[in-house]
Amino acid sequence: MTGPAPAPRFGQFSFSRRTATAYELYIFGGATAEFAPVLLNDMWRLTIPLAGDD
């Protein structure tokens, strides 16, 4: 995998889906720490290509 990675977080919203060519994981928001947290307002997508036909 290439590109930057999201900051470690908790309390985020996430979901995954399968498309015709890949699995996709989406992560939105959250906070950076339990004490004195920084609230995040970002969205990340991880795409994992399918190996072939099922």
Q: Is 46 exposed, middle or buried (0-12, 13-18, 19+ CB in 10 A)?
A: middle
Residue 16, pLDDT score: 97
Nearest to 9 by CA among 46, 51, 52, 39: 39
What does pTM read for this prediction? Answer: 0.79
Q: What is the pLDDT of residues 1-53, one digit of tens each?
A: 678 899 899 999 999 999 999 999 999 999 998 788 899 999 999 999 998 75
Residue 15, pLDDT score: 97
Pairing of strands 13-18, 39-49: unpaired
Res 54 pLDDT > 60 = no
Backbone angles phi and psi of 32, in degrees to 5: -85, -25
